[in-house]
Structure 1
Amino acid sequence: MKEFVIYTGLRALLFLASVAVVAGIWLAFTDDAPLMWVMVISLALSGVASYFLLNRQRESFARRVDERARRAAAAFEAHKAREDAD
């Protein structure tokens, strides 16, 4: 669960930083920054940036999910084997 919180928090921070940068650049050239376009551009920018910048955290999260899925599958198979034995 810790890996999920860390990865999600870093994604959110990266998105907020992208919003600040995109809005700042937009406002530097015009008097108005349309919120929808700032959000869309920031979402795309933060998505691409997170692919490169948050690789280690994403891999750690994926390992944790895989371990948990393997344990659940093993427990399910053990439970199923006990039912078949009865």
Structure 2
Amino acid sequence: MKEFIVYTLLRIALFLGALGITVGVWGLVSNNGVPMIWAVVIAFVVSGLASLFLLNRQRERFARVVQTRAEKATQKFEEISAREDDKDSP
């Protein structure tokens, strides 16, 4: 599951970058300080939208790995089921 770890770490890095930029820009514009809850919400939305475009390759790779594993598990389940059916038939 290397692809999962890579994708997750990139998503976290993208979120932290968006949070840093949001807090930095908001801090420069506002004299009252930065309400962190809104900075986190904005960073979450921005990083989510950015990941759709920037992390497409990693997401596709991860999806292929999951699909391959699911196909293997389904095939193995069908083989076991077929063997059990053969044992049950007289």
Q: Secondary structure at the match of 2:34?
A: coil
Gaps of 5+ in 1: none
Q: Secondary structure at the match of 1:37?
A: helix
Gaps of 5+ in 2: none
Runs of 4+ in 1 over 2 A off after TM superposition: none
Q: Cα distance, 1:30 vs. partner?
A: 1.1
2:29 and 2:65 map into 1 onto residues whose CA distance is 45
Q: Determine whether 1:60 maps to 2:57.
A: no
Q: How many residues align?
A: 86
How much identity, in percent, do the aligned residues show? 49
TM-score by length of 2: 0.95
Q: Kindly provide the CA deviation profile for residues 37-75 of structure 1, in whole angstroms up to 9, marking residues without a partner as x.
A: 000000000000000000000000000000000000000
Bigger Cα Rg: 2
TM-score by length of 1: 0.99
Q: CA RMSD in A?
A: 0.4
Alignment-derived partner of residue 43 in structure 1: 44
| Counterpart mapping for 1:1-86 below 5 A | 1-31=1-31, 32-86=33-87
